[in-house]
Every structure is written in structure tokens, then in C-alpha cells.
Structure 1
């Protein structure tokens, strides 16, 4: 998503705001770092919520996730949490 927001050939609501801000290169670097951190936190928390390891909207549940063919992807056993940590934080649990 961050690449999409910063791609000059693509127009999104976020990219419009970034362009309108007319940031210096140093400011842009800091704003993009903040956006990257926010997106990482949001996606990581969402995946943990689906795995039952974090609450979403004040409620905590475990979900069964399946692919289009009905094959189980995750069932709240921590596998999604482990994959999310590895992906977003850079090392396995």
C-alpha cells in the first residue's frame, strides 16, 4: 500500500494529500516512515485479531480462515500470529 501511495502514476486519496503537502525530501521521508509504521501496526494487529491473539473493536475471538476451496488456512492456534510476526517484525517467534 505504501508503494501505491507514493507512486506518482497512481492517484489515491493518500497520494493526493502527500502531493498537496509539498513536503521537502526530509519531511517526506519522515511522513512515509510514519505511514509505513502505521500500516505495519494496523495489519499486524488485524492478523493477530483473526488468530484470536488480540482484540478487535473490544472483542477477542478466534476465527477459522479458509481458502476458496474450503481448505483451512488458520484456526486460532497461533500459526497466523507467528507468520504475521515473521512478516512484519522480521524474525520468527
Structure 2
């Protein structure tokens, strides 16, 4: 088993636990899914709870991996470990896990490795009291996008990763396609910030974490 496969399996286990917890219609429900079913939540309330569970599991598994890497403490102890598979092949030693852990748990590598979008971004929707929207938006949401380096606006389609709904105040990663590809050819780079607008209202902000469409990458 490679270092990346080891980390990927942790991420898959996180996804399995999340799915099992919200499989409330199964005849073989877990204790957690039974408790969630007893709450009798509607679709929106269930989505909010699932998002909380997802963040909690992400933090838990990511922290464990960094703990095994020597980059974070486990309990009150911080030390590095060497990890071997059952055939005594070295999977990782100090510093090997952190990069892959970040890619899977913060950049959604599994979901986006075959993406055909223009770029992946971390999105933040402003709260209503901050001038943002009153209501949630659904995945496949479209609005205007404006990068901070000029005032040109383009239509942007957003497919949320791991979420069907995003609520004011939330952060989410999204696959983004922009309409004006030709205008932005050779102008974008990782870490670049932008605004999301509905008419003249800034309803959110974002930051590029991965560029998929190589024609857009700044030279």
C-alpha cells in the first residue's frame, strides 16, 4: 500500500461513516441513523446536520493523520510514527501523510480528480446581516463572479462538493465553470480571490484552490 492509498482509505472510511449515519430508510440502520430518524427532520434540517457531521469527521480523521505524521498531537502526546503494511513495507514516516491528507480532506481530491470544470474554489456565502442572501442556494447555482484584479464580471456555474445546499454563513468547496473563458485565458492562479454577485449585491467570496482548465493558468 502506498502513502496516498493509506490516506485515501481514511477518507473513504469517513465518507462511509457519513453515509451510514444518514441512511435513515435502511432496514439495518445504525444506532446513529436511528437517532437521526427519530429527530424527524425535514430535508433542509437534515442537510444542515449532515454538514455538521461532515465537518466533524473531516476534523477527526485529518487530525489523526497529522498525529500519525508527527504534525499534531494525539491526546496529550505529539510524536511521529513509522507505519508499515502487513508485508512489512514502509507506508509512511514523519512528514509523509500531511500533504495527501490536505488534498483529500481539504481539497476534495477524490471528488475532483476527473473534473472537467474550469477551477475548484473555496466559497464563503455571506450572512444576511453582512449583506448576503436571506436563503440557501442549491448546487448548480449560477451568479456573477468578479476577480479582484479588475472589474470584469462573468457568469459562473457552481457545483458544490459534498453538499446539495449551501446556507448563508457557510463555507464549501465547489467546481466552477465560467462563461468568459477567453477573457480569462492565462490570467488565473491558485490562491486568487474573487467575489460572487447577484446584480450589484456581493453575496459571497471565494479563493481558487486548484485550476483544472490549464488554458486559464497565468503564465
Is the TM value for this pair above 0.5?
yes
Structure holding more strand per residue: 2
Deviation digits for residues 33-60 of structure 1, max 9, x if unmatched?
Answer: 0000000000000000000000011110
Shift of 1:27: 0.7
1:14 deviation in Å? Answer: 1.0
Q: Match of 1:79, SS?
A: coil
User: Are 1:17 and 2:60 an aligned pair?
Assistant: no
1:68 pairs with 2:95: no
Query: For 1:40 and 1:51, how far apart are their aligned partners in 2?
Result: 16
Question: 1:53 matched to which residue of 2?
Answer: 71
Runs of 4+ with deviation above 4 angstroms: none
Structure 1 portions without partners, runs of 5+:
none
- State the match for 2:99 in structure 1: 82
Q: Which residue of 2 aligns with 1:4?
A: 20
1:86 and 1:68 mapped to 2: Cα distance? 26
Take 1:26 and 1:42, find their aligned partners in 2: how far apart are those partners? Answer: 25
Higher helix share: 1
Alpha-carbon distance in 2 for matches of 1:84, 1:71: 20
CA shift for structure 1 position 17: 1.0
In the alignment, structure 2 segments of 5+ residues that lack a partner are 1-16, 110-219
Question: For residues 70 and 51 of structure 1, do their structure 2 counterparts lie closer, same or farther at Cα, with a shift above 3 Å needed?
Answer: same
1:23 shift after superposition:
0.6
Query: Secondary structure in 2 aligned to 1:30?
Result: helix
Structure 1: how far apart are the matches of 2:108 and 2:22? 27
- Paired residue secondary structure (1:22): coil
Give 1:91 shift: 6.9
**Count of residues in correspondence between the two structures:** 91
Asked if 1:33 is matched to 2:51, the reply is yes
Tell me, in whole angstroms, the C-alpha distance in 1 between the residues paired with 2:35 and 2:64.
25
The separation in 2 between residues aligned to 1:52 and 1:91, in whole angstroms, is 23
Structure exhibiting the larger radius of gyration computed from Cα positions: 2
CA distance in 2, matches of 1:53, 1:73: 17
